[in-house]
Amino acid sequence: MSPRFARSLINGLLLGASAVALFPLLWMLSVSLMPPGQASSLPPPLLPAQATFDNYRELFSHAGMGGYLLNSLVVSTLITVLSLVFNLMAGYAFAKLRFAGRERLFQGLIGALVIPAQVAMLPLFLLLKTVGLVNSYAGVIMPAMATVFGIFLVRQYARGIPDELLEAARIDGAGELHIFMRIVLPLLKPIMVTLAIFTFLAAWNDFMWPLIVLTGQDHYTLPIGLASLAREHAQDTELMMAGSVITVLPVLVLFLTLQRYYLEGLLLGSVKG
């Protein structure tokens, strides 16, 4: 095989694969700008005859999309902030603070990863029902306030902090909280960005638990709202595509701007501890 041919073959395949990966997303954007009914014609149109924002207007004025968007923003932001605080504290403790049973406790947490989250969902629903948290933001947020993955990620990263730095601060008489806030947190900044974007994307895209715990439209997040619209408006392709754009675009933009941190976290999280 000549190098010239190999080069065109490899780049051609990459181009083809990228086209397959992106085509559905680009077409979603195109169809979302079509007037109602245009997508249901033959052959399937690639571009709108005349671009219109009517579908978006319809979604926000009549289908409650604005509310879903707001719910998604509130829920995802709160989950990100709260779980970041809790995971940072726990991950740092596992990495740098000595206490009896540390390794065994950590191994236990990692071991718990083999239990699929769905096993907990039925009793969790009953638990939240008895305390009146079904169909509330808190019902979605509270179970996501700490994750084993997040603790693991922070621990891996925090192990790189030199012990001398912490010891020196202790000798100077600094309290543990002070050390954490003033010395440790600034050093953990890169992993904070990584974990934040990871958590936000996961919370934004989460489906099964919000579907279960959010029983009324008022609290629906975007994926739940979109799924319920998709069952009602199965035939309104253009409207559904606009809904998909609203759901996907924020996370796609977030990923594109912070891609480096996201991919770093993906690799850190997949390396065995």
Partner 1 sequence: MNTSRAAWLFLAPALLVLGLFFLLPVIGALGLSLTDYDLYAVADIRNLRFVALGNYWALLQRPLFWSALGNTLYFVVVGVPLSMVASLGAALLLHSPLARCKALFRTALFAPVVTTVVAVAVIWRYLFNTRYGVANELLGHLGIHPVDWLGDPHWAMPTIIAFAVWKNFGYNMIIFLAGLQAIPVDLYEAARMDGASAWRQFRHITLPMLGPTLLMVGILTVSGYFQLFAEPYVMTEGGPLQSTTSVLYLMYDEGFKWWNVGSASAVAFLLFVLMFAVTVVMLKLGQRGDDHDGGAR
What gap in Å lies between CA 69 and CA 205, rounded to an integer?
12
- Quickly tell me which residue has 């979109």 as its tokens: 226
76 and 200 Cβ atoms separated by less than 8 Å: yes
Among 28, 81, 161, 183, binds partner 1 (CB under 8 A): 28
Q: Which residues inside 55-84 make contact with partner 1, applying CB under 8 A?
A: none
| Residue 162 CB, nearest approach to partner 1 (Å) | 16
Other C-beta atoms within 10 Å of 162: how many? 10
Tokens of 233: 């408006």
- Quickly tell me which residue has 């990620």 as its tokens: 153
38 and 238 Cβ atoms separated by less than 8 Å: yes
Choices 4-12, 55-63, 156-164, 185-193 (CB under 8 A): range interacting with partner 1: 4-12
Q: Which residues inside 199-258 make contact with partner 1, applying CB under 8 A?
A: 201, 204-205, 207-208, 211-212, 222-224, 226-227, 230-231, 237, 240-241, 243-245, 247-248, 251-252, 255-256
Nearer to partner 1, 10 or 47 (CB): 10
What gap in Å lies between CA 189 and CA 167, rounded to an integer?
21
92 and 188 Cβ atoms separated by less than 8 Å: yes
Q: Which residues inside 97-126 make contact with partner 1, applying CB under 8 A?
A: 97-100, 102, 109, 112, 114-126
Nearer to partner 1, 92 or 157 (CB): 92
| Residue 87 CB, nearest approach to partner 1 (Å) | 6
| Residue 179 CB, nearest approach to partner 1 (Å) | 9
Write the interaction track for partner 1 spanning residues 132-161; mark x where CB under 8 A is met and - where it is not: ----------xx-xx-x--x----------
- Three-state DSSP class for residue 91: helix
Among 152, 180, 220, 261, binds partner 1 (CB under 8 A): 180
| Residue 218 CB, nearest approach to partner 1 (Å) | 19
| Residue 9 CB, nearest approach to partner 1 (Å) | 9
From residue 229, how far is each of 54, 129, 202, 225, 243 by CA, in Å?
Answer: 17, 26, 22, 6, 9
Tokens of 26: 């680009």
Question: Does position 2 bind partner 1 by CB under 8 A?
Answer: no
